Amino acid sequence: MSVGDGDYQYDYVPGWGKGDGGFKLGVVSGHAADSQDRIYVVDREPTPQIVVFDRDGRFLNAWGNDLFPLPHDIFIDGDDKVYVSDCKDHTIRICTTDGEVLQTLGTPGQPGAPGMPFNQPTRAVTSPSGEIWVSDGYGQHRVHRFSADGSYIGSWGEKGSDPGQFTLVHNIFIDHQERVWIADREPNNCIKVFDMAGNLLDNWRGRIFPCGLFIDGDGIVYVAEGHGVDIFTPEGRLLTNIPLPVDPQAAGHGSHSVWVDSHRDMYVGEVGAEDYFHKFTRI
C-alpha cells in the first residue's frame, strides 16, 4: 500500500515487528530512534517497558519493566541519551540506550507543587542548545525548562484557550530555530508555537486530536492526530496526510506518536488497541 503525495510518499510495511523474533506489544504511546536507527517503543501497558527493535523490525531488547509505572513518551537526543516521561511516577528519567538511569528529574511517586515540575508529565525533549524541555500536561497546564545538566530554569503556561494557555499539553518539540512547539489537545485541539520566553508565535487551530510531534532537519512538521499523520511545512501548509490502516476492532483515538529516522522512514504508534505500531518506508 502506497500513501502520500509529492515528495512525501510512503510504502506501508505490513507486519513490522511481528515476524521471526518479533515481540507482541501492549499499548504503544511513544517511540524514538537512536543514531543507529534502532527503534525504542514505549510499551505503556499492561507491562510498562521500553522495547527495542532494529529498523527491520527484529526484536533486540526490552528494559524498564521494574522502573516505569506508566511511561508515556520517549525522546532520544544526538548523544543517544534516552528521555522517558512517566505519568504515574511524575518523573523524567534520562537513560542510556541499555536502560541504565543516568539522572532522574522530579521526585518519584510524588507530584510537584502547583505550577512546578511535575504532575503527570507527557514528554521531555532537548533543544539544539542542549536544554531540556518538558510538557507537563495531564496534571497541570505547564511547560518546564531545564539546563542541560538538569537544573531548573523556569516554567510557563496555565489553563485556558488564550495565548500562553493550554487545555492538555500533550506533546512538545524544539525545532532548529529553538522555537517551542506544543500539541495542545482537547478541547483546544491546536498546535501552538512559542519562542523560548513563552511568547506565542503561531497557532494552528482546528487540528483533530493532536497527540504526537516530530520536526525533521528541514523543519518539516509531522503531527500524529486523528487516525493518521499530517505533514506540514514550517509555516503550516499541509503537504500530505498519511492514513493508518483501519481496524474496526480497535477502539480509541488512534495516532499517538510519530518519528522519522535517518533513512526518512516514518514510524507511527497507535493507542486504539494493543500491538498497534506501523512503519512507512519513504519512496
Can you give the CATH number for the domain in which 65 is found?
2.120.10.30
The overall average pLDDT reported for the chain is: 94
pLDDT above 90 covers a percentage of the chain that reads 89
Domain, as residue range, for 229 = 2-282
pTM over 0.85: yes
Residue 250: the pLDDT is: 58
How far apart CA 121 and CA 225 sit, in angstroms, is 19
Residue 23: the pLDDT is: 72
Residue 252: the pLDDT is: 56
Tally of domains in the chain = 1
Residue 53: the pLDDT is: 96
Residue 176: the pLDDT is: 96
Residue 32: the pLDDT is: 98
Low-confidence ranges of the chain (pLDDT < 70): 20-22, 247-253
Residue 274: the pLDDT is: 85
